[in-house]
Structure 1
Amino acid sequence: MFKKLERYFGAWKIGILNPDRGLWSLSPSVNKLGYLRAMNANGYHIFIKPEDESRFLLLDDIPENRLPYQKELKRFKPGRLVVETSPGNFQVWIKAGRCISNPEKRYWIRFFRADSACDPNLRWGRCPGFRNCKSKYGKNGQFPLSRLVWLDWKNVAQIPKVALSKKTVDRQPIKVRAITQCLSGNPILRTDYDRGDESATDFAYALALLRRGTDPEVVADRLLQEREDWTHHKGQRRQAAYLQRTIRRAVEIINQ
């Protein structure tokens, strides 16, 4: 499996996520399979992404009836890597023949009606061969196996260039100065940092998570899952922009 992924991505890396403790990455090696399987068996999520993301587009939450399958040729379209992450639900990687900017990627994510919350910045996909440990999929302690459906490393997709609005602004990835990861201690929740104001609570919680070494992408997911009232930030685009601003402010304080 790892050799296939290397042929497709070139240089790539593995991410290990525990929602309470954060995400860290490591270089792929068959010698680490035992470690990865043990972590996965203990509820950790195993992810993948290319080192150079500029030529790759990830489409998340694609149902089976919208997969880019060419029935007459009995194959998927060129440059695809398709992973079934849970029964009937898929992630599709597209390897392009040119570099694609993040604003372009957001356009194509909307075009393909993929999950628009899957922003191109700092995005990981599920690693085939490991279980999807999201609690909603667990039945009697069993979780679905992420399954490799298709991989085409020989070809690339010719993605047309699109004319984007001048108002479109690329959001740069959030980078946090290296922090020693704190993988011990009790898990924290957003309710632990209630300030009586939704935005102030979000900021305090984001700051606490980042100081514990939590990856910014995981911080965004935690805020999205644990905040209940989104009255002032309705819609996925507004929520994503708000989370980006909040986390960036917290990162600026940590990086001082």
Structure 2
Amino acid sequence: MTIQLQGLTDVAVLHNGVRMPRLGLGVFKVKEGEEVEQAVRTAIEVGYRSIDTAKAYNNEEGVGRAIQDSGVPRDELFITTKVWNSDQGYDSTLRAFEASRERLGLDVIDLYLVHWPVKGKYLETYRALERLYRDGAVRAIGVSNFQIHHLKDILEAFEIKPMVNQVEYHPLLSQVELRQFCERQGIQLEAWSPLMQGNLDVPEIGQLAAKHGKTAAQVVLRWDLQHGVVTIPKSTNEKRIRENADVFDFELSAEDMALLDGLNRNRRFGSDPDNFNF
């Protein structure tokens, strides 16, 4: 896959034609109120146009306020949120969606995801998402933390394929088979925790950072993007928000990419989608 990267205006075109920014801001564990509002305001000022939140992050209201205060036209922004595990099921998902939409202060959500594959519930949850999509309440639907076998369940049961699968993805957890499966199915892979929750002290990453005159974080984010993976690094620090966007003025060579690809250890910093308790 060859990805032409120009800047923060770069988009991935989802299989339904919706354009999704390739780089966005994640707000996992960012406190409701001034902290999340400032992070979102800063990101939008820098040029980010994608913000990723979730019901479980407890900061949808702050994200909504920052969006409204930004002065950027709504159709230029791409807002993602997710249905939490305790809300899964058909009717409860529809109610949870309405609550998220109200907290965000938005009529239409750009992307709505099933947050985790809760056994016995995720199919009914996805059925609710399919209805929301058909009703025009969301522009795209998808899943998060779904493995290949979960995706196959969805593909067998529904007419509308997920447009996105958001998973933990970084050089120590490159999930090659999952990425390739999603590519074949036209499902856009998206990386959460791309910066390994700060565990970037890996010699090979440091070598490439020195080679390119970039930070370790910038090297990893560039690796994501060159693999065609949408990425949403989280930060509340203005300097880092700017640095994370400064990844379009260099390119990793095939040898650089292979070096990073070879770091995979199947190392998770988050929960295992086949064995989680929430």
Using the size of structure 2 for normalisation, the TM-score is 0.28
Using the size of structure 1 for normalisation, the TM-score is 0.30
Structure (1 or 2) with the greater strand fraction = 1
Structure (1 or 2) with the greater helix fraction = 2
